[in-house]
Structure 1
Amino acid sequence: MMDADAIIIGAGACGLMCAVQAGYLGKKVIILEKNEKPGAKILISGGGRCNYTNQFASAEQFISANSHFIKSAFNQWTVDDTISFFETYGIQGKEKTLGQLFPEGKNAKDVVDVFTSACADFGQEIRTKADVKEIEVLPDGFKVTYQKNEKTISLRAEKLVIATGGLPIPKMGATDFALRFARKHQLKIIETAPALVPLTITGKNEEWFSQLSGNSVFCEVSNDEISFEENILFTHWGLSGPAILQISSFWRRGEVINLNLLPGENILLLLDEERKMNGKTLVSTLLNRFYTKKLTDALGKFLPLSKPVASLTKIEIELIDETIHRFKVKPAGDKGYDKAEVMRGGIDTNEVSSKTLECKKIPNLFFGGECLDVTGWLGGYNFQWAWASGFVIAQQI
């Protein structure tokens, strides 16, 4: 006897969407969640406000060894589908910036409530504090054994969904469950690493960055591959802020990143204009128009702040241009999975069908969400992938 049409391991964004969509199709599922409550990562996303999708989400904003993989899922479940789904449950999207949608007048808890309420309406079970210990692949399905309150319980179902997320934020219950299962069954894994994560600075420059802790500046951050224009935040251990989190997904240890501290402006033209209008203006006075006094003063380590613009030599002008527009930083590392928002890498997408997300080697097994080698930019993209993958899998249950 089967206990449900499918067992879903993980009550995160993908697992919850999968359960609700399966409910629409009249399918019965049981979700097993290790945490005390479902949607743990949803609840802390966006500082508790939950940036639940992005109006511009497409394959372009994702990192994967197969850049075309998610196109099929995004064709099946679009951003408009996400917006309509949440509107049906009383959540209207409000754009904050760069296409990021947040629930207007509501928060992350309201987003989770959408799923828990819908699951209750459809009779889908969410069993929390359920620590899965073993998965047996049977000729007619799967047997999942878990522990709850020191009791050992087994369930059987024809279909199995693994949506246990990635490695970031272990204190929220993140584990390597999906990766361990994949390795056990000889599924290929793309090397994993923290992504959307702050970067650390050590050595001779550590004190310079540390003294600027708390200062934020709009900046273009780039490497040889990509660039992002958003705020950066100086911290006592290095750099954070949206632009740094974005570039971190593309950064590799030992690489240098470039900071354009004045994007959209040309410091050479500004200096020239100032020289024509008032050559007595100090370099510090000019820079204070764009930066906090603390940041301007800190730049005095590299620049002749106390010199009038008209007195600058050619070499000094070149130095100012290089420092302001091409400030080079060589991070020592990152803050690790404790501070990362997502994981880069994961189960190789070649191991699953792009149309159904079914495992090619193990029929009726599906992987969705962050455990796969699909990593989105900051700004609601990873949620869009979670919702889409949950929907796609539900069509197969």
Structure 2
Amino acid sequence: MAAATAGQAGRRVVVLDHAPQAGRKILISGGGRCNFTNMDAGAGQFLSGNPHFAKSALARYTPADFLALVQRHRIPWHEKAAGQLFCDRSARDIVDMLLRECAAGQVDMRLSHRIIDVARNSAGLYRVETDQGVFTARSLIVATGGLSIPKLGATGLAHDLARRFGLRVVAPAPALVPLTFGAQDREWMEPLAGLSVRVGITCHSGTGRQARRVTFDDGMVFTHRGLSGPAILQASSYWQPGQALEIDLLPGIDAAQRLLAIKRDRPRAGAVAMLSMLLPQRLAQLLAHASLPEGQLAAMPDAVLTGVAAQLSAWRLNPHGTEGYVKAEVTRGGVDTDCLSSRDMEARDVPGLFMVGEAVDVTGWLGGYNFQWAWASGRAAGQAVAERMD
């Protein structure tokens, strides 16, 4: 996006990519269909040390703008869930579209070029040494992403370059990633592997006036190592080691009222039967055996049922860690936004150096938000480079 924008404005642009194929991460996204944007994308769906940083770029290149580009290239698409747009055919359509946009700007695409060294000389020119030659330029846009999915070639190059040029880096961590648990928890979790349940998970970020609270109401899946599913992936971006995860197993339901109603209507039912009316059978059995006495509901005090209801609405689990960058869809953290201009992504103290996309400390929710940040931040940098033509 950055290259196409600058190239179509008349700049001479070369793209250096160490991968043998362009857009490999795009190709595997969205189950191969690429959730290329979210029509609801705004700064509120992103985590960052500066929650306002993303506003400028996102406002100047919107989901509607990218959708217009998709439609101009006659790529069929559909809305899978509220605001989430996917290709009808394949993610290949998006990669091909971006390559055609680059070709329209006469961008020189160089694949399989391993970066050896990057420096800036006294004249302000950037020198990029690769295993296939040296390139010099007045502007350098770093769009190399984060550490997630190393099998596709992900590296910490962006973070390394940022530090080399004196930019601070917010500690990177896997995000949009399954959570893992210790051996003690896995012992009771493993029989539930493959089980899916709709939950609500409330997450917190920031402190003081910047404090935010958001609840994700979506699917959760038990695995052999812990928890996954959309709600867990969303929560993982907020989770910090040592924190407990608070899960509402009955989102949108007054659990106490519902349990007492079942007791009234089916007094001869047992605990497992009661919870099975609200939860998948295997989970109902586990929770009933752990939290409720045997026997008929009629014999259970209301206080016992309201206590169980409180547990169902705020089930606390303690993750041990995550599945790491191998399974992470994105990298949280990255180049500190205080070091960059929110308008064009240029380093404040290093003229001509731009950091965009996942390399920056801006992490979107699951559902097309990170792609929209990639398009918007790339566009902003490309426009800034184009405006400096001489």
Which TM class, normalised by the smaller chain length? over 0.9
Letter in 1 for 2:68: S
Say yes or no: does 1:372 pair with 2:364. Answer: no
- Partner of 1:179 in structure 2? 159
- Post-superposition shift, 1:291? 2.6
SS at match of 2:306: helix
Which region of structure 1 is more displaced relative to structure 2, 312-321 or 375-384? 312-321
- Partner of 2:91 in structure 1? 108
**Preserved contact between residue 271 and residue 309 of structure 1 (Cα < 8 Å):** no
Output the CA distance in 1 between the equivalents of 2:304 and 2:176.
36
Output the CA distance in 2 between the equivalents of 1:361 and 1:94.
43
- Post-superposition shift, 1:379? 0.8
- Partner of 2:296 in structure 1? 308
When residues 196 and 153 of structure 1 are mapped into structure 2, their CA distance, relative to the original with a 3 A threshold, is: same
**Preserved contact between residue 16 and residue 109 of structure 2 (Cα < 8 Å):** yes
Output the CA distance in 1 between the equivalents of 2:336 and 2:297.
56
**Preserved contact between residue 59 and residue 67 of structure 1 (Cα < 8 Å):** yes
Give the number of aligned pairs.
376
Say yes or no: does 1:355 pair with 2:335. Answer: no
- Partner of 1:8 in structure 2? none
Deviation per CA, 1:341-379: give whole Å up to 9, x if none.
111111111111111111112111111111111111111
- Partner of 2:388 in structure 1? none
Which region of structure 1 is more displaced relative to structure 2, 264-273 or 247-256? 264-273
Letter in 1 for 2:48: S
Output the CA distance in 2 between the equivalents of 1:81 and 1:146.
35
Letter in 2 for 1:195: A
- Partner of 1:135 in structure 2? 118
Which runs of 5 or more structure 2 residues have no equivalent in the other structure? 205-212, 386-390
Pairwise mapping of residues 152-163 of structure 1 onto structure 2 (< 5 A)?
152-163=132-143
The alignment-based identity, stated in percent, is 39
Pairwise mapping of residues 122-271 of structure 1 onto structure 2 (< 5 A)?
122-138=105-121, 139-147=123-131, 152-224=132-204, 225-271=213-259
Letter in 2 for 1:285: A
SS at match of 1:181: helix
Letter in 2 for 1:129: S
CA RMSD of aligned residues (A): 1.6
Output the CA distance in 1 between the equivalents of 2:172 and 2:352.
25
Which region of structure 1 is more displaced relative to structure 2, 197-206 or 297-306? 297-306
Runs of 4+ in structure 1 deviating by more than 4 angstroms, as ranges, are none
SS at match of 2:109: strand
TM-score normalised to structure 1 length: 0.91
SS at match of 1:280: coil
Letter in 2 for 1:27: R
- Give the counterpart of 1:65 among 49, 64, 86: 49
Say yes or no: does 1:320 pair with 2:308. Answer: yes
Output the CA distance in 1 between the equivalents of 2:83 and 2:238.
21
**Preserved contact between residue 201 and residue 209 of structure 1 (Cα < 8 Å):** no
- Post-superposition shift, 1:92? 4.2
- Post-superposition shift, 1:82? 1.3
Say yes or no: does 1:117 pair with 2:100. Answer: yes
Output the CA distance in 2 between the equivalents of 1:115 and 1:136.
28
Output the CA distance in 2 between the equivalents of 1:61 and 1:124.
32
Output the CA distance in 2 between the equivalents of 1:222 and 1:354.
29
Say yes or no: does 1:76 pair with 2:56. Answer: no
SS at match of 2:264: helix
Output the CA distance in 1 between the equivalents of 2:126 and 2:256.
67
- Give the counterpart of 1:41 among 14, 25, 30: 25
When residues 223 and 257 of structure 1 are mapped into structure 2, their CA distance, relative to the original with a 3 A threshold, is: farther
Say yes or no: does 1:341 pair with 2:329. Answer: yes
Pairwise mapping of residues 375-386 of structure 1 onto structure 2 (< 5 A)?
375-386=363-374
Deviation per CA, 1:267-324: give whole Å up to 9, x if none.
2222232233332233322322333222222223323375332221234213321231
SS at match of 1:370: helix
- Post-superposition shift, 1:107? 1.8
Deviation per CA, 1:39-92: give whole Å up to 9, x if none.
111111111111111111101011111111111101211111111111111124
SS at match of 2:155: coil
SS at match of 2:384: coil
Deviation per CA, 1:93-140: give whole Å up to 9, x if none.
42212321112x222111111112232343212211111111121314
Which runs of 5 or more structure 1 residues have no equivalent in the other structure? 1-16
Say yes or no: does 1:273 pair with 2:261. Answer: yes
Output the CA distance in 1 between the equivalents of 2:234 and 2:181.
17
Letter in 1 for 2:152: M
**Preserved contact between residue 256 and residue 328 of structure 1 (Cα < 8 Å):** yes
Deviation per CA, 1:209-240: give whole Å up to 9, x if none.
11111001000012454321110110000011
- Give the counterpart of 1:87 among 64, 71, 75: 71
